Structure 1
Amino acid sequence: MGSHEAKPKVLILGKVDFAHDAWNALTQICDVLNPASTTREDFVKECQSGKFDGVVAAYRTFHSFGITGLIDQELVGAFPPSLRYLASCGAGYDQIDIDACSARNPPLLVSNVPTAVDDATADVNMFLILGALRNFNAGMHSLREGKWRGRPALGHDPQGKTLGILGMGGIGRNLKKKAEAFGMKVIYHNRRQLSEELSGGAQYVTFDELLSTSDVLSLNLPLNNNTRHIIGKPEFAKMKDGVVVVNTARGAVMDEAALVDALDSGKVFSAGLDVFEEEPKIHPGLIGNQNVLLVPHMGTWTIETLIAMEEWAMENVKLAITTGKLKSPVPEQVDLQ
């Protein structure tokens, strides 16, 4: 790159919390622009003002949602025409309308961080499975109230129980190995059956069979228009009495009100949740139920994992501006690269 040649412009949405060395290295090869906006309305105006003209790539964090809101058709239309790449720092990308990005001419290519989160999220998943099965939350609650163990319902051992995984992606496959170490039998349902190598011997079943035969149901699928409320009142009706339900995916893949009803009726013995439909707001029926183990979206909340996620997203930016290709385009756009 000659000394007179302008560096490519990169827009940062959100902030870098951990991977400062990688960010400093990236800023050597690009010019970074920061929005001044604190609301979506202002951000749209800022985009339309021409301030970001010439920007080629954007680095985006989960927490930038507070400034931009959903990256939907309106926002995609407001972005400068020069913006070609959007590197999102997270595995889930439900805050981005991929169809709107793909429909742009030329398309806005989106990348996520697909595997850096697997271990940390599956660990929390396993913690919730054990905690919900053993009904630890009720005992912990009693202890803090000065009632020693109180009278929680007796829990269950994981050994010999059937774990049904809905969504056998990287996190689901990682969870499978961990659950098997605790003596659980793993079945799964996906849109498509995995190869024997990928599934690791887990049995593929229909959606209805997953619902009716799982002792523990774990939700590990992305949130999109097809999966919103995939677990609701009719699905709970098909489950075993006393089933345990765990969700580390996105809150809205399950109808929370229907879960509360199923817990109140005893259909669901207990639940372990890391994600909620209207975060940070939690359904009062979940807060008030001692048989529910609640964690405030801490699935990837470790220093090591957050560094790895940021570095991965930055690598996507670096490759985009130096080679025109993303390291990990979202599956919907693999053919558009």
Structure 2
Amino acid sequence: MKISLLEPLGVPENVIRDLAAPLTKAGHEFVYYDTKTTDKKELAERSKDSDIVMIANNPYPDEVVEAAEKLKMLAVAFTGIDHVGLTACKKKGVTVCNCAGYSNETVAELAVGLAIGVLRHIRKADEAARTGGTSAGLTGREICGRTVGIVGTGRIGIRTAQLFGAFGAKLLGFARHESQEAKAAGIRFVGLEELLRSSDIVSLHLPLTDETRKMFGAEQFAQMKPGAIFLNCARGAIVDNQALAEALNSGKIAGAGVDVFDMEPPIPEDYPLLHAKNILLTPHVAFASEESMLRRAEIEFDNVAAYLAGTPKNVCKI
């Protein structure tokens, strides 16, 4: 079979070649593109004659899936698959596999880092230290003893809760299905409205679906405590980010840490969150660490090997 990796995976090329070696040794053709493209014609050309296509978080829309006539399996080196043309995949019977679990630790650590950054005014403190300032006006708040609401208690949400719990936080959770694993991590499940009313920190860990799109808007921010902070390391489109900016600027909530937006960075200069008060932004880096990049590359190639062996794993429901 022809296997095409259409974009880099954040690891050195020699790692890619080492991971691909068992595939080529078994007689499969492996093609690697070391640059990213969003051009649909170029993506279709790179996918030409491929039985298996490997991508990361680069968009792979319906038109490209349709153009890839031989496509049987799409291996996605990412947790979410909302950037994939799932309608065409379902129509053509393409098996879609993801790399769920590769970034659990990395995303959870950044969520906690953003919380600390907002609560302790780290960006303002850094600026003060560099410009002859003092600690005046920089008194922060602790995580210990505060209530953290985890919205979405999958593996990333649970790991985030565990880290906040290690700081001494009380943990609330909201999810469609309550899990024993989440309860074992100290999470007490409540309704969303109660979670928003009771939490000092609200951390979002949901996938982007038709049900969750724009799930957080003005109504939800109005239910939060005036002193609460909001964290989003999940998907930007789950949040009405204009409403979030207004909630920050009006003082309805006290702060926010955001890693994801309505588009992939770079962010347009007029984007509302760029001009909101007391917000700490990162350009969609929550998933990216040296360790997580290696994990996802290993999982990606393992998914391909499993499919070729007739025992596919990490298969996504589409």
TM-score by length of 1: 0.84
- Report how many residues are paired: 309
Matched, 1:25 2:22: yes
Q: Is the 8 A contact 2:3 2:52 kept in 1?
A: yes
Gaps of 5+ in 1: 1-7
Distance in 1 (CA, whole Å) between partners of 2:86 and 2:144 is: 41
Deviations 1:91-112 (CA, angstroms, capped at 9, x unpaired): 12220143432232xx111111
Q: Which runs of 5+ in 2 are unaligned?
A: none
C-alpha contact 1:13 1:34 (8 A) present in aligned 2? yes
Amino acid at match of 2:153: M
- Does 1:76 pair with 2:60? no
2:213 to 208, 228, 238: 228
For the residue of structure 2 that corresponds to 1:203, the secondary structure is: strand
In structure 1, which of residues 113, 123, 126 is the aligned counterpart of residue 112 of structure 2? 126
Displacement of 1:277 in angstroms is 1.9
Q: CA contact under 8 A between 2:202 and 2:228: conserved in structure 1?
A: yes
Q: Measure how far apart 1:317 and its partner are.
A: 0.9
* C-alpha distance in structure 2 between counterparts of 1:39 and 1:98, whole Å: 17
Distance, in Å, in 2 between the alignment partners of 1:45 and 1:87 is 16
Give the superposition deviation at 1:34.
Answer: 5.4
Residue identity opposite 1:199 in structure 2:
K
Superposed, 1:260-279 pairs within 5 Å as: 260-279=245-264
Aligned mates of 1:215, 1:37 — CA distance in 2 = 40
The corresponding residue for 1:5 is none
Structure 1 residues 149 and 37 mapped into 2: Cα distance closer, same or farther (>3 Å)? closer
Counterpart in 1 of 2:42?
43
* CA distance in structure 2 between the aligned counterparts of 1:133 and 1:17, rounded to whole angstroms: 31
Render the CA deviation track for 1:164-209: whole Å, top value 9, x for unaligned: 1111111111111111110111111112222x23432411111222
**Rounded Cα–Cα distance in structure 1 between residues aligned with 2:199 and 2:236:** 20
Q: 2:91 aligned with 1:103, yes or no?
A: yes
Shift of 1:264: 0.6
RMSD over equivalenced CA pairs, Å: 2.3
**Residue of structure 2 equivalent to 1:189:** 174
Change in Cα spacing, 1:304 to 1:79, as seen in structure 2 (3 Å) is same
Report if aligned partners of 1:137, 1:292 keep a CA contact under 8 Å in 2.
no
Partners in 2 of 1:197 and 1:256 — Cα distance?
31
One-letter amino acid of the counterpart of residue 31, structure 1: E
The separation in 1 between residues aligned to 2:131 and 2:272, in whole angstroms, is: 20
Q: Distance in 2 between matches of 1:276 and 1:143?
A: 30
User: Which residue identity is paired with 2:67?
Assistant: A
Q: Could you list the per-position Cα deviations for residues 209-249 of structure 1 after superposition, in whole angstroms to 9, with x for gaps in the alignment?
A: 22221110001111122212111111111111121001111
| Residue in 2 that maps onto 1:139 | 125
Preserved CA contact (<8 Å) 1:61 1:88: yes
Alignment partner of 1:302 out of 256, 274, 289: 289
Q: Distance in 2 between matches of 1:226 and 1:300?
A: 23
Q: 1:16 to 1:45 in 2, by over 3 A?
A: closer
Structure 1 residues 41, 294: CA separation in 2 closer, same or farther (over 3 Å shift)?
closer
Q: For residues 26 and 213 of structure 1, what CA distance do their matches in structure 2 show? A: 52
Q: CA deviation at 1:286?
A: 3.1
Distance between the aligned counterparts of 1:285 and 1:34, measured in 2? 38
% identical aligned pairs: 31
